[in-house]
């Protein structure tokens, strides 16, 4: 007896076979998975890929979020962190002021400063160089992962220097890695709709290309869940995959779930858990040349992060002392988490917690 198999099932089975044979997935494969509601099959494939790449290890870092300024010339529609100069709550910290803040909050196990902030046109580029220099001189044992590609483009505009020259000055001041922010969705149409008045798609990619060519290993993100189409998300991943083929400089891809402006916003204003897990699993499958996909607990919560560890994620970020940007936009999660809780979270998903440094070197394995 012949049993007719629905076309969608055939298409999903073809993707399963491609994944298991190590064949690269196409744009059409990615778009089909986004249209599918078969999250379990997509998650199963992502889990298989991740286990081949990373085994049962899940990485985290003891890190601290720092924000030198929230004054910003850009007015991106999704941002509730930025302020104008003179607004209530606007600030621009000097190096000594930031060092005083760090000394109040740091503990001996912090290995990385995660530094981002506003595009403040009221201070010169040298301010941003001196900010890193001050931290590097006071805390030389802590790695500086600082600034987004959009910030590097902004520094280039206010200084008249090329991307390469900007990065070389920052490296001399202590910069060791770039953060992944500023990518949002790599679509000029999206950026126009969401008033992303900062680095465009080609500029974002060129900054990372330049950084990789200078020997920096960087992070990259995707902010999903607003006006973009599912096709835009796949196109976003494909542009990053192409650059990674060229430079191999990205360490990790971080899907960021869009947060509503108010913490009191209804669940209808948030991405569903289904969408969040799908974003992680599909990115694991499409980005075959990335070692790690991050489940960012600040955006999706700790328990969904545990589930994500069985659907392609191999990194849960870090302890994040005092995260502000997602929380300014309405995140309901903790502003940070203890090492003990992170270890419990990872073990609770049946995985092996691994404390890492900025470059994914293993510091301690918690068997």
Annotated binding site for [4Fe-4S] cluster: 72, 76, 79
Which one, of 269, 325, 261, lies nearest residue 296 by Cα?
A: 325
- Alpha-carbon dihedral angle through residues 69, 260, 227, 274, given to the nearest 10 degrees: 120
Q: DSSP letter at 124?
A: -
Look at residue 358 and give its three-state secondary structure. coil
Is the separation of the CB atoms in 208 and 180 below 8 Å?
Answer: no
Which one, of 294, 151, 138, 132, lies nearest residue 211 by Cα?
A: 151
Between CA 315 and CA 53 the distance in angstroms is 12
Q: Which residues are annotated as a binding site?
A: 72, 76, 79
**Parallel, antiparallel, or unpaired for β 352-356 and 362-365?**
antiparallel
Residue 35: CB partners within 8 Å, gap ≥ 6?
Answer: 230
What are the C-alpha distances in Å from 364 to residues 58, 112, 177, 195, 351?
A: 12, 16, 21, 43, 14
> Tokens 């920096």 identify what position?
216
Is the separation of the CB atoms in 280 and 308 below 8 Å?
Answer: yes
What are the C-alpha distances in Å from 128 to residues 77, 163, 229?
A: 25, 14, 36
């Amino acid at each position: 007896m012949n049993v007719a198999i629905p076309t969608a099932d055939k298409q999903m089975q073809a993707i399963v076979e491609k994944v298991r044979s190590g064949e690269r997935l196409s744009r059409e494969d990615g778009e089909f998975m986004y249209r599918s509601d078969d999250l379990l099959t997509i998650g199963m494939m992502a889990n298989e890929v991740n286990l081949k790449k990373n085994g049962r290890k899940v990485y985290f870092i003891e890190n601290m979020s720092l924000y030198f300024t929230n004054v910003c010339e850009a007015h991106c529609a999704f941002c509730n962190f930025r302020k104008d100069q003179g607004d209530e709550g606007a600030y621009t910290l000097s190096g000594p002021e930031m060092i005083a803040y760090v000394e109040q909050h740091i503990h001996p196990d912090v290995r990385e400063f995660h530094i981002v902030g506003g595009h403040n046109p009221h201070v010169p580029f040298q301010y941003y160089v001196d900010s890193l220099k001050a931290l590097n001189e006071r805390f030389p044992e802590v790695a500086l992962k600082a600034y987004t590609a959009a910030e590097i483009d902004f520094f280039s505009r206010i200084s008249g220097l090329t991307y390469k020259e900007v990065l070389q000055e920052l490296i001399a001041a202590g910069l060791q890695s770039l953060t992944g922010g500023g990518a949002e969705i790599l679509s000029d149409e999206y950026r126009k709709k969401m008033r992303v008045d900062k680095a465009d798609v080609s500029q974002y990619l060129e900054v990372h290309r330049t950084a990789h060519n200078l020997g920096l290993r960087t992070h990259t993100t995707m902010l999903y869940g607003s006006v973009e189409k599912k096709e835009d998300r796949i196109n976003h991943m494909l542009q990053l995959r192409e650059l990674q083929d060229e430079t191999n400089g990205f360490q990790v891809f971080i899907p960021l779930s869009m947060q509503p402006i108010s913490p009191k916003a209804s669940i209808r204003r948030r991405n569903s858990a289904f969408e969040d897990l799908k974003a992680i699993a599909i990115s694991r499958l499409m980005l075959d040349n990335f070692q790690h996909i991050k489940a960012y607990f600040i955006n999706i919560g700790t328990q969904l992060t545990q589930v994500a560890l069985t659907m392609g994620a191999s990194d849960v970020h870090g302890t994040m002392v005092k995260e502000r940007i997602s929380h300014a936009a309405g995140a309901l999660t903790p502003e940070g988490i203890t090492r003990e809780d992170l270890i419990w979270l990872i073990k609770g998903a049946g995985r092996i917690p691994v404390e890492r440094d900025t470059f994914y070197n293993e510091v301690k394995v918690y068997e």
